[in-house]
């Protein structure tokens, strides 16, 4: 080991499972520092990105489920500790997006946390200082309140929490700057989803344009530029209701319900209308909500159905069957995440260091002045003592 360079050691450690890396942090201070550097954390994430886990939110509980676990392990869901878990006001844990292993959760009304299910680290999103009541909903849309989402902008290395108040006022919290700001208003008809789908540094909602008889589009909100743009839909999708969105293998996808049937669309090339490919789910489900999660063993698509069931869909013939997992809660919401070492507090610590830097410089300067003053007084005292003698 003494003959190996730090680069070689980092390359070896980045190929190990996350739990092994966490254990090896105790070997030495140098290994701890090495495995907590942003470059190492990103390298480890990129090498293990394909290994996704399911996170299930339920009544006062969060669970993790490994869909690739051996049959011997029965794929049992493991309960996860989370912020405010034992608080008496915590009833249902809502989730508003997952990105790079970080999940946005709301265990209590208006209490949002950026949470790492693997390391259990969390950061509470501060309350928005700007009022959202200046944009009330229209009477026919009174049932739609706020929508939230969470995503990552790789071009600026920043995670952002998005709040759309009553379908019109867009507010952004940046982890990098640790501050809120208001951007352009939501330029579409009120959407039905509470959480958008994050992909390619943007949050996506299926909406309708505001004008009378407006066309149905995918609204893509760029997290770096903080602007909206439109993505084309398949020709047959003309109604923004009864839909869900998701991501599979880096591709945006739509699940649309009509006449107890679901059409499954996958956009193989981002932003290219002609790249939409359809899979018709042949089994009939009365449920409005079918959410795509991930591929299971590279052959079938794992879906979450209406708060109560996981399904495996065969993309070749569109047939579905129940995904067998013991110990699943009676009702749950599901999302996916990757195990990672990213800390939601990393940006907070960076900002703290930046804020402390000027104070540290001033303190050092004053300390030097004080030391020089003491030295001068000491030398002057010696001189006067010698002269008096």
55: CATH: 2.120.10.80
The boundaries of the domain holding residue 10 are 1-48
Total count of domains within the chain: 2
Same domain, residue pair 305 and 207: yes
Same domain, residue pair 39 and 186: no
Same domain, residue pair 39 and 86: no
Has residue 369 been placed in a domain? no
**Does the pLDDT at position 173 exceed 90?**
yes
**Does the pLDDT at position 352 exceed 50?**
yes
Same domain, residue pair 108 and 238: yes
- Range of weakest confidence among 33-42, 75-84, 365-374: 365-374
Has residue 387 been placed in a domain? no
Same domain, residue pair 54 and 172: yes
Nearest CA to 191 among 224, 223, 214, 160?
214
Same domain, residue pair 287 and 315: yes
Has residue 136 been placed in a domain? no
Beta carbons of 125 and 143 less than 8 angstroms apart: no
Nearest CA to 97 among 255, 182, 256, 205?
205
Has residue 364 been placed in a domain? no
Has residue 371 been placed in a domain? no
Give the whole-angstrom CA distance, residue 222 versus residue 258. 30
**Cα 362 to chain centroid, rounded:** 38
Same domain, residue pair 265 and 150: yes
Same domain, residue pair 105 and 32: no
Has residue 260 been placed in a domain? yes
Map tokens 């970080």 to a residue. Answer: 102
Average pLDDT over residues 246-252: 89
Same domain, residue pair 99 and 205: yes
**Does the pLDDT at position 192 exceed 90?**
no
Same domain, residue pair 4 and 117: no
Has residue 358 been placed in a domain? no
**Does the pLDDT at position 125 exceed 60?**
yes
Give the whole-angstrom CA distance, residue 163 versus residue 127. 11
Query: For residues 138 and 293, which has the higher predicted lDDT (pLDDT)?
Result: 293
Has residue 378 been placed in a domain? no
Tokens of 336: 């996916």
Q: pLDDT for 62-110, tens place per residue?
A: 998 887 776 544 567 888 999 888 888 787 888 998 999 999 999 988 8
Average pLDDT over residues 214-227: 88
Same domain, residue pair 28 and 163: no
Same domain, residue pair 226 and 292: yes
**Cα 29 to chain centroid, rounded:** 30
Q: What local confidence, expressed as pLDDT, does residue 188 receive?
A: 82
């Amino acid at each position: 080991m003494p003959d190996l360079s730090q680069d070689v050691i980092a390359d070896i450690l980045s190929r190990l499972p996350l739990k092994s890396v966490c254990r090896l942090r105790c070997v030495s201070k140098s290994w701890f520092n090495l495995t907590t550097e942003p470059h190492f954390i990103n390298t480890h994430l990129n090498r293990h990105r394909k290994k996704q886990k399911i996170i299930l939110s339920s009544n006062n509980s969060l669970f993790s489920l490994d869909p690739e676990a051996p049959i011997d392990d029965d794929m049992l869901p493991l309960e996860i500790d989370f912020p405010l878990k034992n608080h008496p006001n915590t009833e249902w844990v809502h989730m508003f997006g997952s990105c790079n292993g970080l999940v946005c959760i709301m265990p209590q009304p208006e209490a949002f946390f950026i949470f790492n299910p693997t390391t259990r680290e969390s950061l509470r999103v501060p309350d928005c200082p700007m009022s959202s009541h200046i944009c009330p909903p229209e009477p026919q849309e009174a049932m739609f309140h706020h929508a939230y989402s969470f995503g990552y902008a790789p071009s600026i290395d920043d995670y952002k929490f998005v709040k759309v108040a009553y379908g019109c006022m867009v507010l952004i919290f940046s982890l990098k700057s640790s501050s809120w700001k208001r951007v352009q208003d939501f330029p579409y008809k009120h959407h039905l989803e509470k959480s958008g789908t994050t992909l390619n540094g943007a949050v996506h909602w299926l909406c309708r344009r505001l004008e009378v008889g407006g066309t149905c589009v995918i609204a893509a909100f760029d997290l770096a530029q903080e602007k909206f743009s439109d993505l084309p839909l398949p020709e047959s999708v003309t109604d923004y209701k009864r839909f869900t969105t998701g991501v599979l293998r880096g591709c945006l996808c739509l699940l649309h319900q009509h006449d107890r049937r679901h059409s499954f669309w996958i956009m193989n090339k981002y932003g290219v209308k002609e790249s939409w490919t359809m899979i018709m789910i042949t089994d009939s489900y009365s449920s409005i909500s079918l959410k795509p999660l991930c591929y299971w063993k590279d052959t079938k698509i794992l879906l979450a159905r209406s708060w109560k069931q996981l399904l495996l869909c065969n993309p070749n013939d569109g047939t579905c069957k129940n995904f067998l997992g013991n110990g699943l809660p009676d009702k749950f919401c599901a999302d996916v995440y990757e195990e990672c070492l990213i800390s939601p507090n990393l940006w907070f610590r960076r900002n703290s260091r930046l804020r402390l830097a000027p104070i540290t410089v001033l303190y050092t300067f004053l300390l030097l002045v004080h030391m020089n003053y003491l030295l001068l007084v000491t030398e002057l005292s010696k001189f006067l003592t010698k002269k008096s003698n």
